[in-house]
Amino acid sequence: MDRTHYQTPLSSRYASEEMSYNFSESKKFSTWRRLWLFLAKAEKELGLNITDEQIEEMQQNLNTIDFEFVTEEEKRTRHDVMAHVHEFALRCPKAASVIHLGATSCFVGDNTDLICIRDAFDILLPKVARCINRLSDFAVQYRSLPTLGFTHMQPAQLVTVGKRACLWINDLLMDLKNMERARNELRFRGCKGTTGTQASFLQLFDGNEEKVKRLDELVTSYAGFKKNYLVCGQTYSRKVDADCLAVLASLGASVHKVCTDIRLLATMKEIEEPFESTQIGSSAMPYKRNPMRSERCCSLSRHLIALAANAFNTASVQWMERTLDDSANRRITLPEAFLTADIVLNTLQNITEGLVVYPAVINRHIMQELPFMASENIIVAIVKKGGNRQECHEIIRVLSHEAALEVKQKGLDNDLISRIKNHEYFAPIKDEIDSLLNADTFVGRAPNQVLEFIEAEVKPALEPYASQLRGKAEVNV
């Protein structure tokens, strides 16, 4: 690694090898050459004077790129595509005359971007599926474990640990479906010429529109796409980029929410992310167990969310058939968005594979609040014994306020139940009070909701990824 120049942490520190390669210069420029090969093959098939020898020469030199020559050539020409055309032509002297024939720079630039976006989605989708799968296992395991629910970040009715995990899964399922849609709706730019009219190709084929249309179809098929954009300017619409990055930003929002919840639960010591035996939480405080993985996910998710604005701003200023102020922006925004999404999914998978639950702490927190929540059950029990609801309600209200003062002003445990047991009014139900505090009776249908949700929503969504759900995610730094 060159430590004398800035390198993005996304590739040098965090992202997977597969995603880093997908946006590498090696992938990009070898794809340019493949596109020139696809174009020449299609033009040959449609009758242009291109030989098998020329096609073979191009085929043999798809990966023999002299990057030093290209760098110097680009300095001279101020044009990256022509620098590579010249370098490829030197490698393929017999084919030099047919390389880039009829094409504009966006033939290789835009089509390569679409290939890389498609391939990037193919890397991300199984990772989303794995995170959903790990959380589903977790949800089923803890579907019946009661825990405090929170609204306004204040204790509310009980839920279960597994039911809360289903809220996380539900968001990720939306992301999975949105990403599948964005990926499957991607089209190829194809062979459209300088302003999208295909005029140069029409000239090549002596005005034969059917051959021009067939050329577009052939190259699209060679590149692995089923459809191309029937209309475009010099570039494909930058709303395509905006759509893809919006989907990734939405994923970022989901991951941020999941990991924020985990961070809050870690503060309460109810749930923790994995923590290695040699891991250091703080350089100054050796006792700390910081949720650094979840914090990283939140940090990078914010970056992912912010990147979407770039794509929308770029789409909004593509005057007429295009302007070049998209270029420098997209060179940064597109790779960073997919690299960032890749990192947060790798990290989230690692988190979900090692979540630690502390039932005793969870129960202690429940018992600090459950006496207040059980008041309605106690009122009903008294009424069944012939008591007056309003009278009972007033007595519990007074006792609840007394207990709350003990908790808030003196830091003592919630003793409302003891106060109720010791009050003569509740003597008729004294033996029933403990059973009325069974936390399992306060979670409603949560355990069955988990099972129903997994069966109806999760399993069908994960079925296409059944062969890709294995393997653990490692976090190296």
Write out the catalytic residue numbers. Answer: 152, 282
Q: Are 273 and 264 in contact (CB under 8 A)?
A: no
CB distance 337 to 304 below 8 Å: yes
Per DSSP, 336 falls in state H
E strands, 105-173, in order = 146-151, 154-160
Give the residue carrying structure tokens 């989907």. Answer: 247
Long-range contacts of 181-187 (CB under 8 A, 24+ apart): 181/247, 182/121, 182/243, 182/244, 182/247, 183/118, 183/121, 183/122, 183/125, 185/243, 186/114, 186/117, 186/118, 186/121, 186/225, 186/240, 186/244, 187/114, 187/225, 187/227, 187/228, 187/229, 187/236
Report d(CA 237, CA 234) in Å as an integer: 9
CA neighbor of 162 nearest in space, from 146, 139, 141, 145: 139
Neighbours of 466 (CB within 10 A): 11
Q: Are 60 and 149 in contact (CB under 8 A)?
A: no
Q: Is 16 left (phi over 0), alpha (psi -120 to 50) or beta?
A: beta
Are 397 and 445 a contacting pair, CB within 8 Å?
no
**Cα(405)–Cα(396) distance, rounded to whole angstroms?**
14
